[in-house]
Structure 1
């Protein structure tokens, strides 16, 4: 690369956004076969991860945790509700607030889902350890710094 090309803001190789975008797409695609086995899409999976942790949460707080707006989150929750994994209800003292709660069926799904992170780890590291645990933590911190900078 010449000095001119390293300063060119429109070269794909000079972009931070592109490897992040491409990595995210590759990671989600890699998750799909494992998630298909338990009947979830990636957005449903991350939603369930929050619900396995919280059990009951407002839709607003769930959206904040997942960085999703209500227009994106509503269809995910509707599908999860139709599958019997969550219930949605309105807060009696404030009808504007939607409460999302995990059902016993949703809680039972957790056992199947526990295999997914291990399977992904094996897939990512099939050619040798890609990252040390410390590098993983550093990368997560850097990505969250980027997310927070863009809020």
Structure 2
């Protein structure tokens, strides 16, 4: 019988500060540090490394339809080479189209928000998306639309 695969993206003891300091591009590093502070402010949670490249805040337990469960950050981000990836609630594009319309330049994909630069977006719209994501993951805002 095969051994069940262990998840790679779990909380670690790695230093968030060291991870962010190692981001090679100056602008991306500054944006990542700013985003880290912003997400910490919104969530009230400390940043924790999840796996080798995701900075997460808080956690929640999810269950798939097939019964498989796991843990994931309430919200998180990763400073990738081409953009910042912000991990939000799945389906946020359909849930919050009016907020996304205010956000500014971005791309989306399955629970991910892709941003080139923080200076190019509306920070209040980003704060709203993060706050709503946290509320949904905590079970406070299941049916929110708008």
The TM-score with structure 2 as length reference comes to 0.23
Please tell me whether Structure 1 or Structure 2 has the larger radius of gyration of its CA atoms. Answer: 1
The TM-score with structure 1 as length reference comes to 0.22
